[in-house]
Amino acid sequence: MESVPAVLVVDDDKMILHTMQEQLSREHYRVVAVSRVKEALEAISAQEFAIILADQFMPDLPGLEFLRKCRERQPLSSRMLITGMASSPGIQEAVLHGDIFRFLLKPWTRMDLVLALHQGLERHELLCQVDRLKTESACAEPDARLPGPSPETAVPAGEHLGVPERYWQVFSHIDQAIWVSDAETNELLYFSPVHERIWDRPLHQLCTGTAWLDSIHPEDRERVRQAAMCDQRHGGYDQEYRILRPDGQVRWVRDRAFPLIEENGTVARVAGVVEDITDRKAVSEQLELRVRERTEELAWANLALESEVSERRRAEIQLRESNQRLQQALKELHDTQQQVIQQERLRALGRMASGVAHDFNNALVPILGYAELLLEKPELLQDHDKTIQYLRVIRTASKDASTVVGRLREFYRTRDDGEVLEAVNLAEAVGDAVSMTQPRWRDEALAQGRHIDVQTDLRPVPAVTCNGAEIREMVTNLVFNAVDALPSGGTIWIRSYPDQDRAVLEVQDNGVGMPEEVRARCMEPFVTTKGERGTGLGLAMVYGIVQRHHGMIEVESQIGKGSLFRIRLPFHDPPPLEGGSRWHEPSRQLHVLVIDDEAVARDIVSLFLRNDHHEVTLANSAAEGLRAVKENRFDLVITDHAMPDMTGEAFTAAARSAGITVPILMLTGFGELMKAAGKLPPGVNKVVNKPVTIDGLRAAVAELVMEATDNG
């Protein structure tokens, strides 16, 4: 055998093969690395290997089958299986049957590899020593096979067995203890002196009577005795057991035996080898513990990974199903932000309707209140200034009601790039909101036995860029929220003042206040402390409006001391004018055709147009309007959308098919939904949402006339 141990590595993975070759070379082994089983078998035929390592999963032949072939050709080699799964079928059986010495679990550490190679090399050297001993015993003189002394008189003298003294000197200096017994009588013929070092007992004492058997740990004694009686003659005796030293120390030994066969085929002697494996056992137990821990870690990691993959798959399936369910809702809620309604979009749509009705009813309060006041007290009409004030509040509330209806698609939406914002005087907007809410915080509260005082401190601030209706709606919600927080009456303070580059609005009450957990979530939709009376959407609407106007909102509240809402809005930064404004009244009188099946709507639009000195022709159906547009020349056609027999969209299609090129303006209550879905009816030049104001209609007419002039 050469001084440098030879190791054969077989693995079809070139990366693993290279890694193994590099690691083994650094440990001073002579390495032969091949990737195919055929090359490995040729290498085995050419030279002897102390250790053979083979991967389990190879395309040519499984690792276990290959190592069984290696056992037939090189039985003294230490064969090891490389595998990533210790629980693979057949591995444990292969270890028990001797096909493989052990297995190396992927991924291994340097210490795992060094320990496995060290154990494999020791095994190979021991098997080689036993094989030489068997060969030399078979070549000894005939009298060397004669029976020797009994166990009581057994001594470590080679001449009793006819073995030359120089061999016994070798046996006395190796780490393994050698023993020989008679195959028929089980008489102990020889104990090498190494037994003394392992057992820590004098040799003559250990060879006397049952001293050897008595030194075995009681839990292992009967097993070893039965194996010694039954298995030694057949070569199946290979036991690991514990021995007890005189000082009480427990040591582990491995005791193996094999028959010495005579020329006539009979068994005269049984030879055995004992080695102290205590240190190896400890290392092996530590290694097994590490392997078990590593296996458990990998099992848990694999379980967690499988769980994560499964969860992702379920999430993907749920997401696809959710996307399918939301397709129709997304058409109507195109600009709704996912940040607010999250995964409750479909369910929230129905609940949002109650919030819209709530805000719509709030807008109706001043309209109904001031209208009834004027009807019940006609003498108030004599006060011109008071009447004008009431009418302005009614008009403002009506516009806000229209805005609230259109808000169904705008809950927590991001602001459209095309949305028209204006420079708003914050103090005036807040004052309007206070006036609009007066029936609630004063009249209704007094009817309930509550006195609520609203104190305003509205300092002048630069204009803010916003939607005036939304600002009034925001203040309205904050005031109503404060009113609800004053069940026994109290005070509401409303303040405005400048702070650096922002306008600050504060609404404060001395009501019941909110606990910290409610304060932290009060801006979330459907969070309410009012029970069935509340929708949980008022403050959520406020938050959405502030976010759309690039503002900030702060909330301070204490139980029993009230709440403070502080809103910061950026000052107005007007965009540069490009060649002057395009929004102006037409410079000439227009001939306009108005089509609407509702008489009131038709008359209101015609009054608006005639107020601007336009000539107006009326049609009460789309069919009548189609005849009129074919027979007369008009500068503009204004049509309703939802009409019996023929819709505004069908009218437009028929007019365009007839070659009518006049601009068409469609007035409809579905205008906001059409804009949200991006579906402008074919042939229609502009869609305006109902109800339309005189300024809104005037701006739309001016825009269409300007476009017609530019294109003409």
The distance of Cα 82 from the centroid of its chain, to the nearest Å, equals 35
Instruction: Give me the amino acid identity at 397.
Output: A
Q: Which residue has the higher pLDDT, 2 or 573?
A: 573
Q: Give one word for 589, left, alpha or beta, with left for phi > 0 and alpha for psi -120 to 50.
A: beta
β-sheet bridge partners, residue 191: 179
**Are 51 and 80 within 8 A, CB to CB?**
yes
pTM: 0.35
Highest mean predicted confidence (pLDDT) among 175-179, 330-334, 431-435, 636-640: 636-640
Q: Report whether pLDDT(21) > 50.
A: yes
Does residue 267 sit in helix, strand or coil? strand
What does each C-alpha distance from 528 to 251, 376, 517 come to in angstroms?
A: 75, 38, 12
Q: Which residue has the higher pLDDT, 297 or 565?
A: 565
Instruction: Give me the amino acid identity at 278.
Output: T
Q: Which residue has the higher pLDDT, 147 or 110?
A: 110
- The architecture in CATH of the region 342-570 reads 2-Layer Sandwich (3.30)
**Are 682 and 704 within 8 A, CB to CB?**
no
* pLDDT single digits (tens) 507-544: 999 999 989 888 888 877 766 666 555 555 678 888 88
What does each C-alpha distance from 248 to 194, 209, 251, 481 come to in angstroms?
A: 20, 21, 10, 85
Q: Residue 168's pLDDT is what?
A: 54
Instruction: Give me the amino acid identity at 619.
Output: A
* 375 burial level (CB within 10 Å; 0-12, 13-18, 19+): exposed
What mean pLDDT, rounded, does the chain reach? 79
Q: Residue 53's pLDDT is what?
A: 92
Task: Single out the residue of 54, 58, 55 nearest to residue 78, CA to CA.
Answer: 54
141-276 shares the fold of 6-129: no
Q: Report whether pLDDT(280) > 70.
A: yes
What the block records as the tokens of 617 is 């022709």
Count of C-beta atoms within a 10 Å radius of residue 678: 8
Candidate from 86-95, 351-360, 660-669 with smallest mean pLDDT: 351-360
* pLDDT single digits (tens) 231-276: 666 667 888 999 999 998 999 999 888 787 777 778 778 888 898 8
- The architecture in CATH of the region 6-129 reads 3-Layer(aba) Sandwich (3.40)
Domain 141-276: which topology?
A: Beta-Lactamase (3.30.450)
The dihedral of CA 311, 313, 316, 317: what is its sign? negative
Q: How confident is the model at residue 695 (pLDDT cuts 50, 70, 90)?
A: confident
The dihedral of CA 279, 282, 286, 288: what is its sign? positive
**Domain boundaries 591-711, corresponding CATH code:** 3.40.50.2300
**Are 644 and 628 within 8 A, CB to CB?**
no
Mean pLDDT for the stretch of residues 390-394? 81
* pLDDT single digits (tens) 138-177: 665 433 333 333 433 444 444 444 444 544 555 555 678 8
* pLDDT single digits (tens) 307-337: 778 778 878 887 888 778 877 776 676 555 4
The residues spanned by each domain of the chain are 6-129, 141-276, 342-570, 591-711
